Structures are given as structure tokens and as C-alpha cells.
Amino acid sequence: MGTAAVVGVGHTQFGQRSDMTLAELAWHAIKEALQDAGITQRDVDYVVTSNVGGWSSEPLPAILVNEYSGLGDVGVMRVEAACASGSAAIRAAYNAVASREAEIALAVGVEKMTESPTLQAVELLGRAGNFFWEFEQFGLTFPAYYALYATAYINQYGAKEEDLAAVAVKNHFYGSLNSLAHFQKKISIEDVMSSRYIAWPLKLYDCSPITDGAAAVVIASEDMARKLTDTPVWIRGIGVASDTSNLSRRQNFLGLASTVKAADEAYRKAGIDKTEAVRRLDLAEVHDCFTIAEILAYEDLGFVGRGEGYALAREGETYKGGLIPVNLDGGLKAKGHPIGATGVSMAVEAVKQLRQQNAKARQADIKNGYALTHNVGGTGHYAYVTIYSLNRPTQS
């Protein structure tokens, strides 16, 4: 396998985007990514579109996106891995380049969730777990799934609801500094604690919103990347894993086993000792669909030991300048969670952080040149962990 790098990124405003169709949103992100890479549609050899769908008018959008964006008759595919679809698209595009099947590949994630009423979107998300057993028999929706994890974690380790709230406060703080975020308003612990319960102990402000948006990345071979840019961002390692559809078959609700396995694979490929990861990484983008999910990620990714994640949130150690800056774009919680676009959006943020292109207030200090993205589908049903670096891999 050869090496591959991200050479261009694009990102739309996230939120309720009734001003654009799905194809228009995708093209906005694609055009920006192509311009960033200094190429045109004719230079792209392969396209991977991430879209979960079901709530929007275009159930099979890949060809529509290609046609609207003027990408011609190149190879194209649509991928779906629930909320991890964006990272799955990046992996497919990366593999096309690393295997030398393509010189330049494009990964685009796009979702128009608000075309459906909120209750319908919530039902469709709930069906993405184990439909016949958990959804039909017990009525579980995704807030309820993660509430099971939150309850188990609080009972086992003594965390408080205020510790979950601290995650929301941090991510809304950084969302207020991100002009592309769905929510750009700071909140307080009191705001979170006084919001209504959705599934105890998770409240409204513990939950990510239903969002529209798109993001795109251009991935190029080493030779092409060096022609296009002086600052390629290398994909150093991608780890992938899954877990049982039925949550009753999980060993416990204190972490996501799929994240642990995916992280181990990504660290190994990137040549990073997991015990050193928190010191090697300059920042992380983790899947905070609910506040408990971010705390679990701290532990599953090896930043701290079991039962210590809530202390990171409580003590502010995941802010810029802390032990490990996490979700400096606002995360899913404030930036938004347009399902198919989320993983690609994480990649855009990681690349811009490593290039030091963000506003100073939310720009991480880049010392080692490594960033991690963590993208979960369902309740750990799918997990993708990707490590990006300014440093070229030493081996192909």
C-alpha cells in the first residue's frame, strides 16, 4: 500500500438548511475542497459519498451529487455505517488512493435531516439499533441507549450529572467560536441542569441536535500531494471495529469495546504507543453525540484510565491548553450532527487544526503534528478511529 494525504477540505454551515437542497449542500463543500486543493472536477478519479438518508427526499444521492457537482462519469459509491458513515467514506477513498487505483479521490458527506419532522427523525435513528428486539419491544431511542451507559457509569464511578454538563458547556463554548457551528451560543452548567430530561440522566443539553450539512476532503497519492501543496496532512492510521447489534449481549455499559479495538489498530498503524497517545496527540475530535459518549471516549481512546474520564471534564482538562484538547470546533453537541457528514467534518477540523488555520481562540497548539478523529455509529455498533499527521509515514 502506498501513502496518501489530505490536500483539500471543504465545509458548509451546519444547521437547519432549508435554503439548499441536498445536492447543493454537497456541491458547496466539494467546490471548497477542490479550490483548497487547487484542482478541478476533471482531476478527481473516484468519489465516495457518505449519506445515511431515510429522512430526506433523496434516498440514493451519490449519482445525483456527482452529476450536480460536475464530477463526470468517474467511479462512485455510497457508503453507510450509521453515524460513522463519514469516516467510512474517508477510509474507502483512502484505500482507493493507497492501493494506487486512483491518484485523487474525493470523500463527501452530506445529510438533510430536517426535511423530516423531529419525531420521525428520532424514530428512524432509534430503528438503527436492534429494530425487532430493542426498538419494537422496548421503545429504545438513541437518547435511551446512551442513558443506559450514563446510568451504569454514574453508578460505577460516582460521576455526577454536573460532570456530563461540563462536556456540554465546553463544547458550546467552542461552538460559539465556530462560525460554521449549528449552535453558536455559550451555555452554563445551570442551563444544562435546568433543561428537561430526555432519558434520565441525559437532558436536552446533553444531546446533539438534528442537523443539515456537508463536508468534503480531497485525498491524493504522495506524488500528487507534493505537487499540489506544501502542507499535506498524511493519513497515518485508520482503525475499524464493530460490536453486537443487541445491547443485551454487551459485556458492560462502561465503555465501547469497538472504540477500544479501533483505537488500538489506529495507534499501531500510526506507530503510537497507546499509553503515550495523550502526550503525542495535539488534539482529538471525538464522537460526542451525547455528553456521556465524550467521557467514555476519553477512556476508550486511552487518554485516561477507567473511571477517570469524568474528572477530565470536571477539571477542564479537555479545553485548549489542558491535558488533551477535545472538540475545539464544538463537537457534535454544538457544531451539529448531520449523520453522513459528521466523520468528514471531523477530518476537515483535524486538517485545519494541523495546518493552524483556525481562529486563535480555538486553535490548538501544534507541537507534535498529530490529530485523532473518533467516529461512532449507533451505540458503538461501528467505530472508526483515524490519525492524521503533518509527518509523512516512514514506511509505505
Which positions are catalytic? 83, 337
d(CA 167, CA 314): 8
Is 257 within 8 Å of 380 (Cβ atoms)? yes
Q: CA-CA distances (angstroms) from residue 56 to 108, 120, 132, 160, 367?
A: 17, 11, 24, 38, 42
3-class DSSP state of 70: coil
DSSP code string of 85-131 = HHHHHHHHHHHHHHTTS-SEEEEEEEEEGGGS-HHHHHHHHHTTS-I
CB count in 10 Å sphere of residue 117: 11
CB count in 10 Å sphere of residue 21: 18
DSSP 221: E
3-class DSSP state of 180: coil
Cα angle 172, 267, 95 (rounded to 5 degrees) comes to 90
For residue 170, give the H/E element and its range.
helix 161-175
Question: Could you give phi then psi for residue 44, rounded to 5 degrees?
Answer: -85, 130
Question: Could you give phi then psi for residue 330, rounded to 5 degrees?
Answer: 105, -10
Grid coordinates given for 30: 466539494
- Which of 273, 272, 289 is closest to 327 using CA atoms? 289
Helices marked H in 315-396 — which ranges? 331-334, 339-355
Angle of the 291-300 helix axis to the 161-175 helix axis, nearest 10? 100
- Which of 198, 194, 192 is closest to 126 using CA atoms? 198
Question: Could you give phi then psi for residue 77, rounded to 5 degrees?
Answer: -145, 155
Beta strand 283-285 pairing with 202-203: unpaired
